[in-house]
Every structure is written in C-alpha cells, then in structure tokens.
Amino acid sequence: MIDKIKELIGEAEAFTTDNKDTLDTFRIKFISKKGLINEIFSEFKNVPNDQKKEFGQAINSLKNAVEGKIKFIQDALESKEETAGIFGDLTRPGTPVNIGSRHPISLVKNQVIDVFSNIGFNVSEGPEIEDDWHNFEALNFPAHHPARDMQDTFFVQMNPDYLLRTHTSSVQVRYMENNQPPIRTISPGRVFRNEAISSRSHCIFHQVEGLYIDKDVSFADLKQTLLYFTKEMFGKSKIRLRPSYFPFTEPSAEVDVYWGLKTETDYRITKGTGWLEIMGCGMVDPNVLKASNINPDEYSGFAFGMGLERMAMLLYQIGDIRMYFENDVRFLEQFKSNF
C-alpha cells in the first residue's frame, strides 16, 4: 500500500495542464469524497500497528503534493487570465480618454505671445503685489491721479504703499531697471482694479503690455507693429489711431480695428460704426525712461497694452466676462477643440 501511495505522489508531482477542466478532473480523482486519498485513508484501520506511522506520513505527503500541485496550476491559470484581461486583443478600439481643455484666456494669451515672438519680442513677468514706485511713480503718475485713490485700487498696506498691481506696466519698469536697450518685451499677466462686477467689467482681468526701446524708434514703427498684430490676430488689415491720454506715454492713442458690419453681432459690438477699440498705445514718456536710468536723448520707444478678456470675447463671441471666472465645466468644455 505504501508503494502505491508513493506512485500516486510521483503521479501528482508529474501532473501538469493548462486546462481548467483537466485540473478539475485531477482534483476530483484525488481529493473528492470518493477520491483516492479518502479511499486509501479508509484502509488505515487495516494497517498493522508498526506500519501506521509510516502509512500516515505517506498519506499526508500525498495530500500535500496534490493540494500543492492544484494551487500551483490554479495560480498559473489565473495569471494568464489577468494578462489576457489587461492586454487582450491589441487591435480592439482603445478606451476613450476624457481630456480637459485650456481656458479661453490662456488660448488667447498664447496666441498673442506667438504673434509677438515672431518679430523678436520676449516675455517678461513680475509680482502681482507691487510697491508704489513700480506701479505709479516710475510710470509718471502724478500724486493726484485717480488711480492712486482707495476707491480705484486694492491697497494691501499703506505707508509704505503696497497694492495689487493695476496694470502690467510695472513689469516693464522692472525690466528696464535690469536691462539696457535695445528692449523688446511683452508682459502678460493678471491685474486688479476696484471696479463693480458686471457682464462687461470685473475686478480681476488679464493684460498683455508691450514695450520697445531703441535708438530712433518712431510712431510709424508703433503703427506698423500694431497693424501686423491685428492682421495676424484678427485677420483685419485696417486700423485707426485716435488721440488719447496715458501718464506714461506721449503722444498717446487708442487703437481701433475695422471689424465690419456683416452680422447683427457686428452692429451690436461696434455700435453700428464698424470700428472696435482693442488697445491703448503711445510713445514712451521721457520721464519714464529717466526713472529707469535710460537716457531719453539717446533712446526712444513705444508701448501698448490690451485686455485679454476683451479679445477672447471678440474671438469666441462670449457675451459675459463673468463666465471666465465661474469655472463652469459646460462653458470650458466648448474650448476642447482648441487644446
């Protein structure tokens, strides 16, 4: 009997299969209620006393060999199933990936950066909390200017004055302090003004301001640069410059682009004129150059600034500026195609 058990142990150890049904047949043969192990164990009472110990050890060895073989093959089969489940048919359609989208402000900002990068402008950045010098004094703002009032600007601290910057012109001042002409830079960023929130205005918005300083820079250079920008950005080739006033430029102008009157929306946004204001500009005031230790007798330059929210509203026909800041996924998902 012991020899028979040893033969069965050898059979169990040699057994192999990659089929579940064959494995199940093996299990039933050995460890079911009517299996060989129970059948052999029923003979235990007929074994002489001096052989019972060896007989019992042999049965345990057989049982361990069978159970170990079953577990080993089951693990191997399950591993193959998992691998097939992960990879399976590699020609099948892939699982859709739900990608996000860039914010319309980011899309427009990147467009503006690309346009000016093509003509040699670099990108400069600065802090959003500014001191009075960089935000006002160095930009030729007089002490009585309304922008310095509490009702127009968010002051963080008084004496000395620190505030949330009201424009990115402060970045240009910092750039002039640390770089000598020729200077050709644009400064995109978030700015803050104490304004009532409505469909057309907000206390937070984004600007891109440009600065070009070199020898013999003229107003003609400014106009040609802005004409190039409007062609690239809007596909519009007709602009006009209206006289205006800014403390840091002289002369100063507002830039209008001829948008046209092809649709009802065109009539509404241009108030029936076809012309649409898109930015302010001008020649850099000599006092601004002096404040940054640049000789105005040797160098001249121009500056311009535009609001990104307004541009995005024009390009994507967005009717309410507040939508930019509400984080409504339904609104943002409309820009997936521009990712």
> Could you tell me if 41 and 115 lie in one domain?
no
Nearby residues of 79 by Cβ (< 8 Å), 6 or more positions away = none
> Could you tell me if 194 and 286 lie in one domain?
yes
The predicted model gives 67-83 an average pLDDT of: 80
Whole-model pTM over 0.95: no
pLDDT per residue over 208-232, tens digit each?
Answer: 999 999 999 999 999 999 999 999 9
Residue 63 lies in a domain: yes
Q: Report residue 109 as tokens.
A: 């900002």
Total domain count for the chain?
2
Could you list the residues known to form a binding site for Mg(2+), using ranges.
Answer: 250
> Could you tell me if 140 and 29 lie in one domain?
no
Reported as type and span, the H/E element at residue 137 is: none
> Could you tell me if 38 and 113 lie in one domain?
no
Residue 89 lies in a domain: no
Q: Which of 191, 155, 182 has its CA nearest to residue 299?
A: 182
> Could you tell me if 39 and 146 lie in one domain?
no
Residue 318 lies in a domain: yes
* Bond into 188 cis (ω within 30): no
> Could you tell me if 178 and 272 lie in one domain?
yes
Angle at 32 between CA 28 and CA 35, to 5 degrees: 80
> Could you tell me if 120 and 218 lie in one domain?
yes
> What is the number of other CB atoms lying within 10 angstroms of the CB of residue 144?
7
Residues 334 and 312: their CA atoms lie apart, in Å, by: 13
Q: Higher-confidence residue: 30 or 117?
A: 117
Residues 302 and 214: their CA atoms lie apart, in Å, by: 9
Q: Which of 233, 195, 190 has its CA nearest to residue 103?
A: 190
pLDDT per residue over 110-160, tens digit each?
Answer: 999 999 999 999 999 999 999 999 999 999 887 777 767 766 889 898 888
Could you list the residues known to form a binding site, using ranges.
Answer: 250
Domain extent for 73? 1-82
pLDDT averaged over every residue in the chain: 87
Residue 246 lies in a domain: yes
Residue 85, pLDDT above cutoff 70: no
